[in-house]
Amino acid sequence: MKELILFGTDQHHVEPDVLEAAGSRGKRAVSLADLRVPVCPGVVIPGEALSVFPENATAAWSILQKPLHDIEASMEKRFGEGDTPLLLKVVESPMLNVRSALPSVHHVGLCNTTIDALASAMGETFIWQEYTFLITSILRLELVIEESETRKKQLKEFREELQAAKRKESIKSVLESFSGLLPEQIFSEPFFQLAYVVRLFRKAFALSPTTEDSAIMIQAMVYGNLDSQSASGYLFTHHIITGEDILQGEFFSGSFDENETSGAPLATLPSERLEMLQDISRKLEDHFKELRWIRFAIEGGKLWLVDQASVPDKSAQAEIKTLLDLLRRGTVTEEHVIRTIKPGRLSEILHPTLDAGSVSSFITLEGGIAGSVGAAIGRVFFSTERLVVAHRQAQQAGEDTNLILAMPSTFAGDVKGIEIAQGVLSSEGGYASHAPVVARSLGKVAMVRPDITFRDDVMIIDGNEIKEGDFITLEVPYYTTPRIFIGAGSLTKPTPEDSGLLELLEIVQHKIGKIEVHANADQPRDAHLAKLFGARGIGLCRTEHMFFDESRINRFRYMIIAQDEKTRTMILDDLHKDQTEDFYQLLKIMDGLPVTIRLLDAPLHEFLPQGDAAMKDFVAQAKKDKMKFTKQEILARSQLLREFNPMLGHRGIRIAISYPEIYRMQTRAIFEAAYKLKAEGFSPRPEIMIPLVMNPHELKTVRNGKRIEGKHILGIRDIEREVFQRLQTEPLDYKVGTMIELPAAALNAGEIARYADFFSFGTNDLTQTTYGISRDDFNTFFSDYTELDLLEGNPFKMLQPQVRELVQTAALRGKMVRPDITMGLCGEHGAEPENITFIQETGLDYVSVSPFGIPIAKLAIAQMNM
Ligand code: PEP
Ligand code: MG
């Protein structure tokens, strides 16, 4: 393309095919001009035109004369003449959107004949410094093309002396002492200067294959410091933190110093200027379909757009709210909104984020595995017991109750510690270990760092000793590496309700398709959150979490310690009241939606006190509570319950087989709660789920009961009948199903389906047992495997091929026997966008994820479906 491309003058319009020749910067300027925003006018010389551009200044003038006149007319200024002569900038416009390697040349037109007029308008110091900037840029271009080493040396010397000169006199004397190094007309003839700069670019482009197609852009410059009618400033088209639909920015009258920290608020600009800025902002947002940054100048009362750009570090909330405003204005579609937001960014809205400035001077320890995203600050404690005491004391003294639990690993008994802490730091395990799983469900921060050494009352990370009670700050971002800062930073608290998230979720829901998102929730608080985020049910209520409350744990422990069924039943009768209330609340909150309640899964010893001190306290408490066990009996029973391999041990349905009274109590509590709600006019939908089933006989026994040697072991269905008859209300719609979390269960799925109304794939355990890797110890060798590329990602996040095969096999076999079987997935894998396609294609009905994971999972599903 040989013609020049003029823009910004007189409503000039440029055709799209012509635009391509303008290079990336030129294209941007031309497109903006086409939007009718007051971009400074200019002209682009495409690469092809430039390559044949005349050397001779007079010949060059004949080509540039007409566009320059048009630019002068738009700017109401003359190049090289008048009180405020027009100045220009000349920049490379590369074909690709990359940073230019060549210097931009600003203030072209500034020379002996124009400088005095401009100095009296804008100040001597300013204009002479800009003059040195112009000449040094020309020297830098000269250096790119110069071949002679001697001349190169002289040019460098000139440039350095010019850069060091600060005042008019010293600048003048440097220019004089180097006169002869550049053509004299550069300092006296504005047009010659312009033609010379264009020639330098042409020569520089010809030297490099990366620039030979580049165009150049010549554009008018404006000055916010020209007179009292002038100003300059910047703005964001929406608030970059809150996302409010307001112009956020400031302006500087008279001068614009980027280092000046406080300009005047935009609201104090005259209203017609503010309206123009509003109008420009709208046009830019509508064009780019996002929040933009704008730099503007008002010169002699006239407003100009100087620069504009994308804002990569805007908050997730600002991104969402801007997109929703664009949707309301009809600028973008729902699909665009859904496609644009990265699912992981939603975690910023759901969790506190770190104020980066608050930790800039702290020791920073980078590394580790993200367990649950967010940021947390608090005093660190190395045991749940000590953390609970510290919390109580801080509460009583009215002091800061922000605490962080740090332990090698956590167990069910530590849930209460994680609950009151802001975050949890552990050294064993990984993403699917206890601490991260619990933290995610409670919306707490979690990080795993295998390199922590715990020693009595200190932990050592990377050679740094952190004592119990010291403040630390945890930052676990979604997309980058976690960090620990030694000291207390500050946080920005999330406000999901005002963030636009709920509105976004409504839009997302239109594209979710058949698959549903359920919540892993066991507390009313989680259930409320799940409903807020539009969960279609609770997919996993882990009932073991319900016994760790301070008011219950010891009763539960007494039940475990008791040797005889009679004592156990007596204690269970007592716990039964609490459980009924638990289920009543959950079913009521989720009225009309399925609530999948998993009967006790954890190995019993997990409920016993961990460590000598905790055991001592427990023994003392048992005595106070007048329990009949001796210390020896307690210790002996605890010893008996210990297992070498608890994850493969006495847990799940195996507890139901050995201690049917525990499952009986839970089942009765579920039906009593549900029938009570029925009588009150609610529509409870309990779904009882049995964990760790390996074959159909186990499930049949627990579901239907069994008569053996004259003894009748009650099944879930017997208990339902008994409660129904006792309470005499309307019949209840309930289901009994199982988790599929052992390879044997997956392969037995056809037979198992005879006794299961639903399957829920527990891919945490299924991954453990398929690959023979422990979700708690896997980290010890995971990094070696990653280094050698031996696994496709973290198996506790990414569903591995053989786990997928087992899920597919089970789904197929289950459906063959029971075509209307409902199937879901409740392992941690459900929250990972990468697994969603497989889950949908396998025909599962839902994924169940922690309440905080619901928005992320929903957005990921919607994106996959588009
Ligand atoms: C699972 O194993 O995938 C599961 C959801 O159960 P849990 O994590 O409680 O063992
Ligand atoms: Mg499991």
DSSP string, 90-106: EEEE-SSS---SSPPEE
Q: Is the CB of 743 under 6 A from ligand 1?
A: no
Q: Based on the fold, state whether residues 523 and 669 are members of the same structural domain.
A: yes
Q: Where does the pLDDT of residue 479 fall: very low under 50, low under 70, confident under 90, or very high at 90 and above?
A: confident
Last-in-domain residue among 314, 343, 363: 314
Task: Tell me the pLDDT tens digit for each residue of 539-581.
Answer: 999 999 899 888 899 999 999 999 888 889 999 999 999 999 9
Q: Which among 742, 765, 848 is the best mutation to test ligand 1's pocket, defined by most ligand atoms within 8 Å of the CB? A: 765
List the binding residues for Mg(2+).
741, 765
Rounded Cα distance, 316 and 485, in Å: 23
Task: Tell me the pLDDT tens digit for each residue of 216-248.
Answer: 999 999 999 888 889 999 999 999 988 999 999
Ligand nearest to the CA of 600: 1
The number of distinct structural domains making up the chain is 4
Residue 499 placed within a domain: no
- 749 within 8 A of 814, measured Cβ to Cβ: yes
Residue 641 placed within a domain: no
Q: Which among 739, 774, 846 is the best mutation to test ligand 1's pocket, defined by most ligand atoms within 8 Å of the CB? A: 739
pLDDT (0 to 100) of residue 232? 92
Residue 786 placed within a domain: yes
Rounded Cα distance, 594 and 731, in Å: 16
Which residue of the set 238, 434, 518, 545 is catalytic? 434
Q: Based on the fold, state whether residues 108 and 254 are members of the same structural domain.
A: no
- Provide the 8-state DSSP code for 659: -
Q: Is the CB of 534 under 6 A from ligand 1?
A: no
| 287 CB-contact burial (10 Å; exposed 0-12 / middle 13-18 / buried 19+) | middle
Q: What's the CATH number where 772 sits? A: 3.20.20.60
Is the pLDDT confidence value at 840 over 50? yes
> Cα of 829 to ligand 1 centre, how many Å?
10
Q: Based on the fold, state whether residues 731 and 587 are members of the same structural domain.
A: yes
Residue 630 placed within a domain: no
pLDDT (0 to 100) of residue 255? 55
Rounded Cα distance, 536 and 538, in Å: 7
Q: Based on the fold, state whether residues 745 and 849 are members of the same structural domain.
A: yes
Q: Is the CB of 516 under 6 A from ligand 1?
A: no
The whole-chain average pLDDT of the chain stands at 92
Average pLDDT over residues 518-534: 95
Q: What's the CATH number where 424 sits? A: 3.50.30.10
Q: Is the CB of 443 under 6 A from ligand 1?
A: no
List C-alpha distances in Å: 619 to 304, 559, 608.
79, 14, 11
Task: Tell me the pLDDT tens digit for each residue of 299-358.
Answer: 999 999 999 999 988 989 999 999 999 999 999 999 999 999 999 889 888 888 888 889
Which residue of the set 391, 518, 826, 829 is catalytic? 826
> Cα of 827 to ligand 2 centre, how many Å?
7
Domain residues for the domain of 244 are 231-314
Give the ligand 1 atom nearest the CA of 763.
3
Q: Based on the fold, state whether residues 667 and 801 are members of the same structural domain.
A: yes
Give the ligand 1 atom nearest the CA of 540.
5
Q: Based on the fold, state whether residues 91 and 118 are members of the same structural domain.
A: yes
Q: Which among 647, 694, 740, 826 is the best mutation to test ligand 1's pocket, defined by most ligand atoms within 8 Å of the CB? A: 826
Give the ligand 1 atom nearest the CA of 741.
2
Q: Is the CB of 827 under 6 A from ligand 1?
A: yes
Q: Is the CB of 23 under 6 A from ligand 1?
A: no
List the binding residues.
542, 598, 741, 762-765
Give the ligand 1 atom nearest the CA of 828.
3
For 464-470, the CB contacts below 8 A with 24+ separation are: 464/363, 464/365, 466/380, 468/380, 468/381, 468/382, 468/386, 469/379, 469/380, 469/381, 469/390, 470/379, 470/380
Q: Is the CB of 824 under 6 A from ligand 1?
A: no
Q: What's the CATH number where 203 sits? A: 3.30.1490.20
Q: Based on the fold, state whether residues 293 and 427 are members of the same structural domain.
A: no
Q: Where does the pLDDT of residue 112 fall: very low under 50, low under 70, confident under 90, or very high at 90 and above?
A: very high
Average pLDDT over residues 392-406: 94
List the binding residues for substrate.
542, 598, 741, 762-765
* Share of residues in the chain with pLDDT > 70 (%): 98
> Cα of 761 to ligand 1 centre, how many Å?
9
Q: Whose CA is nearest to atom 1 of ligand 1?
A: 762
**Of 285-289, 410-414, 529-533, which range is least confident?**
410-414
Q: Whose CA is nearest to atom 3 of ligand 1?
A: 762
Rounded Cα distance, 797 and 778, in Å: 13
679: its two tokens: 């009588």
Task: Tell me the pLDDT tens digit for each residue of 180-202.
Answer: 999 999 999 999 999 999 999 99
832: its two tokens: 């990972």
> Cα of 557 to ligand 1 centre, how many Å?
23
Q: Is the CB of 762 under 6 A from ligand 1?
A: yes
Q: What is the pTM of this model?
A: 0.84
Is the pLDDT confidence value at 789 over 90? no
Q: Is the CB of 770 under 6 A from ligand 1?
A: no
Q: Based on the fold, state whether residues 305 and 359 are members of the same structural domain.
A: no
Rounded Cα distance, 187 and 580, in Å: 91
Ligand nearest to the CA of 412: 1
Q: Whose CA is nearest to atom 4 of ligand 1?
A: 762
Q: Based on the fold, state whether residues 744 and 839 are members of the same structural domain.
A: yes
> Cα of 540 to ligand 1 centre, how many Å?
9
Q: Is the CB of 285 under 6 A from ligand 1?
A: no
Average pLDDT over residues 276-292: 97
Task: Tell me the pLDDT tens digit for each residue of 148-177.
Answer: 999 999 999 999 999 999 889 999 999 999
Please provide residue 166's backbone torsions phi and psi, each rounded to the nearest 5 degrees.
-110, -35
Give the ligand 1 atom nearest the CA of 826.
5
Q: Is the CB of 765 under 6 A from ligand 1?
A: yes
How many beta carbons lie within 10 A of that of residue 513, not counting itself?
11
Give the ligand 1 atom nearest the CA of 829.
3
Task: Tell me the pLDDT tens digit for each residue of 736-776.
Answer: 999 999 999 999 999 999 999 999 999 999 999 999 999 88
Task: For residue 226, list its beta bridge partners.
Answer: none
Q: Based on the fold, state whether residues 268 and 357 are members of the same structural domain.
A: no
Amino acid type, 221: M
> Cα of 405 to ligand 1 centre, how many Å?
23
Q: Whose CA is nearest to atom 10 of ligand 1?
A: 765
Bigger pLDDT: 495 vs 382: 382
Angle in degrees, CA 573, 578, 581, rounded to 5: 125
Q: Is the CB of 826 under 6 A from ligand 1?
A: yes
* Share of residues in the chain with pLDDT > 90 (%): 75
Residue 332 placed within a domain: no
Per-residue burial over 661-674, b if 16 or more Cβ lie within 10 Å, else e, is bbbbbbbbbbbbbb
Rounded Cα distance, 396 and 378, in Å: 17
pLDDT (0 to 100) of residue 492? 83
Last-in-domain residue among 288, 314, 340: 314
> Cα of 827 to ligand 1 centre, how many Å?
5
Last-in-domain residue among 314, 339, 368: 314
Residue 636 placed within a domain: no
Rounded Cα distance, 154 and 149, in Å: 9
pLDDT (0 to 100) of residue 628? 85
> Cα of 427 to ligand 2 centre, how many Å?
21
Q: Based on the fold, state whether residues 206 and 235 are members of the same structural domain.
A: no
pLDDT (0 to 100) of residue 256? 46
Q: Based on the fold, state whether residues 703 and 840 are members of the same structural domain.
A: yes
Residue 708 placed within a domain: yes
519: its two tokens: 């919540």
**Is 826 annotated as catalytic?**
yes
Select from 402, 390, 381, 362 the least CA-distant residue to 484: 362
Q: Is the CB of 741 under 6 A from ligand 1?
A: yes
Residue 567 placed within a domain: no
> Cα of 692 to ligand 2 centre, how many Å?
7
Q: Where does the pLDDT of residue 11 fall: very low under 50, low under 70, confident under 90, or very high at 90 and above?
A: low
